[in-house]
Amino acid sequence: MKFVGIAKKDFKELIRDRRGLFMILIFPLFFMLVFGFAFGGMGQGNQPHNLALVNYDQGATMPLTNEHVNFGNNLTKLLGDSKYENSNVHLFNINKTTETVADSMLKKREADAELIIPKNFSKSVVALIISTIQQQTVTGINTTVTPSNSTSTIIIRGDTGYMGFGVSQGILVGVLAQYQEKLVTQIQNQVKGTPGAQPIKYLQSKVEAIPGTETFTNFDFLAPGMMVFAILLLTTTVAAGLTREVEKGTLARLKLTKMTSFDLLFGGMLPWSLIAAAQVVILLIVAILIGFHWQGGLNTLLLAIIVGVIGGIASISLGMIIAAFARNDRQAANLGTIISVPTSFLVGAFFQLPQVVIAHVYGQPFQIYELLPWTHVLNALRATLTFGGGWNDIAYQVEWAVLLTIILFIIGVLLFSRNRLRAEN
């Protein structure tokens, strides 16, 4: 049980080093406050996002009615009319323009995102309508229409490093998914003769608020990211702390004793995990105070603490890897910062990342960023704190986070033991 002795030692050192503790807990808090003030907390109202819209849609002819329709215009109108939930504020300011101008607006940040509707968009929608009708008619209204299997891709373009794009893109994806879903539902209702369904007039659309947008601000998207950023910064502190033990010779003193690598590293991990848990709680309290809309109550807080501790252990493991190579504590701190800050960007702590799917696992796309445990930690924190998800909603992410953290911890223990706990060369 020597690891208990090491855990007690590290805990006392952490608590008694007021300056160090202040930095560990206050530094991320400072970031939280800055981002909270900058991105939508503090009771700021929802703002419309500037959308540059390029409509290449050439329209199509509806089956049965032979009516000429343009679903591109329909979608444009719908986007323009959409509002935040329980609010009169529109989701988007639409600027209909050409692709060249839209690109230029993106560069000047006059537009948060650019939406390009392709020329065969209406044909695709018509194909969807025909396909839906045919699936619905069991005994068969013998239509003379053949689906064209036409597909089209709506392009959402923007600067992934720009927060405005991150949020606009998230909302746009939701609106487009809802658009297609409602279109299909509407057709199904009309074919079945659901009361209230209007005669064949597929252009009919109803503008509804987008669920979940009522109170959604950039800060709600960012606050869990800030927590992951704080957890990732533990890497720097752990790496510097372990390297200081090497530099000061206290590690050599311990090496002469009967202490094992496991005692040192597992014992050291315990107080740092407590720090990670404390960071989650403190940052959540501060985030709530400055406008974060916490969902789900104490249950989600408990889940978030568990997830935060897993992320903390991953950061400690990364700290061990750095401490295995750093020459002194300053180099360890620099290396820790150089690694942990870009990692926080890579895991999507500050903005949404482009899709880079490298595999499919259990039918779910697995992106390159998901090789990092903190991506799963962030996804789980967002799912539970921002959207109020329970254990079932985060289980997949937690499983991945645990697996990747175990791998990272084993690598950390092996490297640190090999380079630091054997006789020096």
Where does this chain bind another protein (CB under 8 A)?
2, 5, 8-9, 12-13, 16-17, 248-250, 252-259, 263, 423-425
CB of 258 to another protein, least distance (A): 5
Q: CB-based contacts of 305: which residues, under 8 Å, 6+ apart?
A: 277, 280, 281
Euclidean distance between CA atoms 88 and 91, whole angstroms = 9
Report the residue number, 260 or 364, with the smaller CB distance to another protein. Answer: 260
CB of 262 to another protein, least distance (A): 13
Other Cβ atoms closer than 10 A to 411: 15
Other Cβ atoms closer than 10 A to 248: 11
The encoded tokens of residue 97 equal 């323009």
Report the residue number, 109 or 418, with the smaller CB distance to another protein. Answer: 418
Other Cβ atoms closer than 10 A to 103: 16
Other Cβ atoms closer than 10 A to 40: 25
| Phi and psi torsions of 115, nearest 5° | -115, 125
Question: From its phi and psi, is residue 212 left (phi > 0), alpha (psi between -120 and 50) or beta?
Answer: left
Largest CA distance in the chain: 89
CB of 2 to another protein, least distance (A): 6
Name the residue with tokens 């530099």: 247
Report the residue number, 13 or 393, with the smaller CB distance to another protein. Answer: 13
Report the residue number, 224 or 267, with the smaller CB distance to another protein. Answer: 267
Report the residue number, 8 or 330, with the smaller CB distance to another protein. Answer: 8
Report the residue number, 13 or 85, with the smaller CB distance to another protein. Answer: 13
First to last CA, the chain: 30
Report the residue number, 266 or 366, with the smaller CB distance to another protein. Answer: 266
CB of 16 to another protein, least distance (A): 4
CB of 21 to another protein, least distance (A): 11
* C-beta of residue 354 within 8 angstroms of C-beta of residue 345: no
CB of 413 to another protein, least distance (A): 18
Beta bridge partners of 360: 365
CB of 257 to another protein, least distance (A): 4
* C-beta of residue 138 within 8 angstroms of C-beta of residue 129: no
